[in-house]
A and B are shown apart, each in its own frame.
Chain A
């Protein structure tokens, strides 16, 4: 069972560019880029969108499609295409920022998540640093008691925590039965991990709760020690 990801944009270049970016972090995921009108102008095209949905439903997916769209009428076109396609129940439209949502969805898909979870991953993307904290200003890990496992690791790769390492951490943790935070943010959220902006020499503190806690901490430790394969 896999999930296919569809991007519906007003611009062919935006759709293809967003897919190109997300595919870097999710090599096994099937993407479908739909952008611009049939005659190459800026706009959206229902027939092209339906065709992409049908391809995705037959090729990519056992579990369905998750769709991200950019501006208002692309959302409406995606909704209309859902209405017209053969399996409307298997097409989920995510209410998320296109690029960030797609990357989060791609990492979740790569990690084996099913359609509803992929949609949720896209929609969990938020802008700005406040996401790491709740309304009272404390990191979300507080108030849950002591973690089952934890560990603190220093980043040795020159680039620090950029997109690909974040995707590796988030993708791996998503496949485990664990609730894990990294420096207080959700360890399965590639966007939140990237927003930590930890550079070379900075530290990642992993706190894990749940059945796979020790696996989770071990997984991050190994990635960090190997410099995420970048050294």
Chain B
């Protein structure tokens, strides 16, 4: 099954719902190792995304993601704004004018998004950042693609791997962003950016029709 603009809009809509539902959880995670604004910032950013979607309905999945990128970069205010903004923008560029996205295009867009986050944040796997959710997600997506899976299966695998990746940040010592100021005291807390990334990828799989909460 290929995915069109309805999927992209549904993805962003579900993302906004999840950011609102998990707002307090993200704030609590960020309070432990950051400046406790991640939940609020993401909620505000995705509200802006929804508002823009209402004003100018996009015609392609790429256009929807580009719109999201601009809204997030302007409204989030913290580091997550440029990071997610770059991710969505690179994904949009990778998709181009495609009306329907197949598994290969989707895996390519996920890779572009991850590479954008790495380039903008200059973080590597193991730095206790959102890269620790995105990199396993991209690897899992590529494996499913190689095995002949469809776009929905690619998203399901990416979402599951991102959730596992977020959990693996628990014992890590942060080497990027404000959490890095804490040094060893950052160990024992889950990275809020990795958690929000896993939620966004879960929203992508759910929007594609993959049953919520059973991404394993």
Contact = CB atoms under 8 A, between A and B. Distances in A.
A80 B79 contact: no
A43 B73 CA distance: 11
A42 B120 CA distance: 21
B86 interface: yes
B83 interface: yes
Interface stretch (A44-52, A89-97, A142-150): A44-52
- Most chain B CB atoms below 10 A, which of A42, A47, A72, A73: A73
Given A41-B77, A43-B78, A76-B83, 13 more contacts: A37-B75, A44-B82, A46-B70, A46-B73, A72-B79, A73-B81, A76-B79, A76-B86, A79-B82, A79-B120, A80-B73, A80-B82, A80-B85
Size bracket of the B interface: 10 to 19
A38 interface: yes
Contacts of B188: none
B121 interface: yes
| Chain B contact residues: helix, strand, loop or mixed | helix
Contacts of B82: 44, 46, 73, 76-77, 79-80
A46 B177 contact: no
A72 B177 contact: yes
Contacts, number: 47
B77 A45 contact: yes
Contact of A76 (B41, B70, B120): B120
Contacts of A42: 77
Size bracket of the A interface: 10 to 19
Contacts of B121: 76
A37 B81 CA distance: 12
Given A72-B177, A76-B120, A79-B120, A44 B85 contact: no
A44 B83 contact: no
Nearest to A75: B82
A73 B78 contact: yes
Interface string A64-78: 000000001100110
A84 to B, nearest CB: 9
A105 to B, nearest CB: 23
A72 B196 CA distance: 19
Contacts of A80: 73, 82, 85-86, 120
Contacts of A44: 77, 81-82
